[in-house]
Structure 1
Amino acid sequence: MINSSQVSYFTFGAYFELGLLKYFVFVIIMSLYILILCSNLLLIVVICVNRSLHEPMYMFLCSLFVNELYGSTGLFPLLLLQILSDIHTVSASFCYLQIFCLYTYANVQFYNLAVMSYDRYLAICCPLQYNTRMTANKITFLIAVTWLFPLLAIVVMISLNSSLQLCGNLIDRLFCDNYSVVKLTCSDTTVNNIYGLIYTFTIIAVLPTVIFYTYIKILKVCFSGSKQTRQKAASTCTPHLLSLLNFSFGCIFEVVQSRFDMSHTPIIVRIFLSLYFLTCQPLFNPLMYGLNLTKIRIVCKSLVFGKM
């Protein structure tokens, strides 16, 4: 029996021999990563540079795009290296670092979407009080909570898991995953399980409640309001709802991939389920918000094509 401090590396078991096809896969994955970097960076620059976009909704969007750059960088560089490599291993310290990056990305994304739903609720249901209730200090506080609380929670989780004794080092995934590492343990995981349940219950109890409550209020205003109110709600809430739906699909795929036996599933399906959560959200959000929000669309056109 060895503990995690004695495990110098982990081996990924989900990769398979591609032959010369690995260079084609590398180019495809690299293209996706470049597209994610460029699209998210473009919208971050657009929001930061243009003063007309220095509004609460766009500040929260900027936080969302920064998080997507962070999460993508936690996945793609190592993934690209593994595709070209013949020996699919990673050091233990780097594996825990990747777990930290990917789990904080997922948590910050959820917090961000909840805060954005609260912002839309104030804008649509309390338009006259919006500027007084969504102050600069409140925006700063919400963004700080969105980032700091998940970071601290995942630091505690990694600290608990890194002290576990492990009986192996084979991870049946394309990247490091906390659940896969914990499955290798030979020691008692009661404390880890209790902490995980408490944190998961806290998230499930608070964040979905905020989202459901805000959208019930928004729907009530839409049904009882004017046509202009309904149009405003549709234009600003549609991208957010689609992003929530995409995020939910990603969470479901990740749970299915991690918690259930997928050995009889075709390897291509398993790879798709593994990468959906960490690829489609960073690709989907810039496209959705960039096309649907008029202010962002106009500024992007002026930056890319020049002012008419």
Structure 2
Amino acid sequence: MDDKVNVTFILIDGYVELHKYRYLYFVIMLTLYILIICSNSTIVYLIWSHQNLHEPMYIFIAALLINSVLFSTTTYPKLLIDFLSERQIISYSACLFQVFAYYSVGGSEFLLLAAMSYDRYVSICKPLQYQTIMTKTNVNVLLAAAWLVPACQCAVTSVLSAKKKLCYFTLKGIMCNSTFQTLHCVRSTVLNVYGLFILVNLIIFPTIFILFTYTSIFIIVYRSSREVRRKAAQTCLPHLIVLINFSCLSVYDVLLLRMGTEFPKIVRFIMTLQLLMYHPLFNPIIYGLKMKEIYKHLKSLFCKMP
């Protein structure tokens, strides 16, 4: 690889025995990608096509499932190409774009979960004000903010990184994530501080807000009747499961890798695959089976199929 190519392209060096299992990897990941698209799209279609699901809670669920498809699309197509390629490389500009898309969509996940928790908080703790607070306009504003705020903040990182000089051209992973900064000749203090700002703004603050709203909800429902507690658990539990699942995997990706913790290649490979597989696959299962109204329409849909 000559100097000109070295400056432009980065070697992706996180695959485990790719030469031996490339076709197995390809079939598995292609199958998972199709399942992710089909399962998430099915729930979104049910919400879109049934009038009784045109409520803020279900609209936020649809947005979260669309976000899951976007999250997968930031990585799966490139993985599938790499599995069948003799050389696993990516241009630095494409790497920066993948980092931007991956973290902006990941940040949107937390903001959407925060919006969902706020919707449940208003519904359970302030039921008489629900219709005036969760208006169509306010829902649209929350959705727009959930996607635009992370995109704008992550774009700054890409712009700053594009000006940095590269001295290293081997990425220890199967995708461009926070470790791409280790390729720079000099680690940027500005990028590190700004990355911490994004971490606090898009992950820590939304998580604290979610925990606050659910704590308030649990205090209210604890004093209520058994029926109220059952309904609250039915709508809140899926959100908490999704939050815990995504938060745990995000801690590994954002914190441990940025701290420079050395993991064996196979551990990095398995952990990254878990991050890419579990969350997009679990979301439609959790909401499809745990949300009573969605499950009812889902069951009806499959019963009608020949």
TM-score, length-normalised on structure 1? 0.92
The verdict on how the C-alpha distance between 1:238 and 1:90 changes in structure 2, with shifts beyond 3 A counting, is: same
Q: Which residue of 1 aligns with 2:287?
A: 289
Counterpart CA distance in 2 for 1:205 and 1:298 is 35
Indicate yes or no: 2:225 matched with 1:233: no
The verdict on how the C-alpha distance between 1:216 and 1:182 changes in structure 2, with shifts beyond 3 A counting, is: same
Q: Which residue of 2 aligns with 1:27?
A: 27
The verdict on how the C-alpha distance between 1:146 and 1:97 changes in structure 2, with shifts beyond 3 A counting, is: same
Counterpart CA distance in 2 for 1:71 and 1:216 is 29
Q: Which runs of 5+ in 1 are unaligned?
A: none
Counterpart CA distance in 2 for 1:19 and 1:9 is 21
Counterpart CA distance in 1 for 2:84 and 2:303 is 37
Q: Is the 8 A contact 1:15 1:88 kept in 2?
A: no
Q: What amino acid is the match of 2:302?
A: V
Q: Is the 8 A contact 1:95 1:176 kept in 2?
A: yes
Counterpart CA distance in 2 for 1:218 and 1:5 is 56
Q: Which runs of 5+ in 2 are unaligned?
A: none
Indicate yes or no: 2:111 matched with 1:78: no
Task: Measure how far apart 1:239 and its partner are.
Answer: 0.5
Counterpart CA distance in 2 for 1:197 and 1:19 is 38
Q: Which residue of 2 aligns with 1:165?
A: 165
Q: What amino acid is the match of 1:183?
A: T
The verdict on how the C-alpha distance between 1:246 and 1:228 changes in structure 2, with shifts beyond 3 A counting, is: same
- 1:8-65 residue CA offsets vs partner (Å, 9 max, x unmatched): 1111111243445321221111111111010011111111111111000011111101
Q: Which residue of 1 aligns with 2:192?
A: 193
Task: Measure how far apart 1:274 and its partner are.
Answer: 1.1
Q: Which residue of 1 aligns with 2:180?
A: 181
Task: Measure how far apart 1:260 and its partner are.
Answer: 3.9
Segment drifting more, 61-70 vs 87-96 = 87-96
Q: Which residue of 2 aligns with 1:271?
A: 269
Q: Which residue of 2 aligns with 1:112?
A: 112
Counterpart CA distance in 2 for 1:129 and 1:296 is 25
Instruction: Let me know the Cα RMSD of the aligned residues.
Output: 2.1
Segment drifting more, 179-188 vs 290-299 = 179-188
1:47-126 residue pairs with structure 2 within 5 A? Answer: 47-126=47-126
Task: Measure how far apart 1:256 and its partner are.
Answer: 2.8
Indicate yes or no: 2:143 matched with 1:143: yes
Task: Measure how far apart 1:132 and its partner are.
Answer: 1.6
Q: Which residue of 2 aligns with 1:247?
A: 246
SS of the residue corresponding to residue 90 of structure 2 reads strand
Q: Which residue of 2 aligns with 1:9?
A: 9
- 1:236-289 residue CA offsets vs partner (Å, 9 max, x unmatched): 0110111011011111232334534334x3x43321211222221110110000
- 1:110-166 residue CA offsets vs partner (Å, 9 max, x unmatched): 111111111111111112221121111110111011011001001111101111111
Q: Which residue of 2 aligns with 1:262?
A: 262
Task: Measure how far apart 1:205 and its partner are.
Answer: 5.4
Task: Measure how far apart 1:188 and its partner are.
Answer: 5.8
Counterpart CA distance in 2 for 1:96 and 1:142 is 27
Q: Is the 8 A contact 1:257 1:274 kept in 2?
A: no
Segment drifting more, 280-289 vs 292-301 = 292-301
Q: What amino acid is the match of 1:36?
A: I
Given candidates 298, 303, 306, the residue that maps to 2:304 is 306
- 1:88-124 residue CA offsets vs partner (Å, 9 max, x unmatched): 1112222112111111111000111111111111111
1:126-141 residue pairs with structure 2 within 5 A? Answer: 126-141=126-141
Task: Measure how far apart 1:204 and its partner are.
Answer: 5.0
SS of the residue corresponding to residue 105 of structure 1 reads helix
The verdict on how the C-alpha distance between 1:168 and 1:268 changes in structure 2, with shifts beyond 3 A counting, is: closer
The verdict on how the C-alpha distance between 1:197 and 1:19 changes in structure 2, with shifts beyond 3 A counting, is: closer
Identical amino acids, percent of aligned pairs: 37
TM-score, length-normalised on structure 2? 0.93
Q: What amino acid is the match of 1:300?
A: L
Q: What amino acid is the match of 2:11?
A: T
Segment drifting more, 283-292 vs 210-219 = 210-219
Length, aligned pairs only? 302
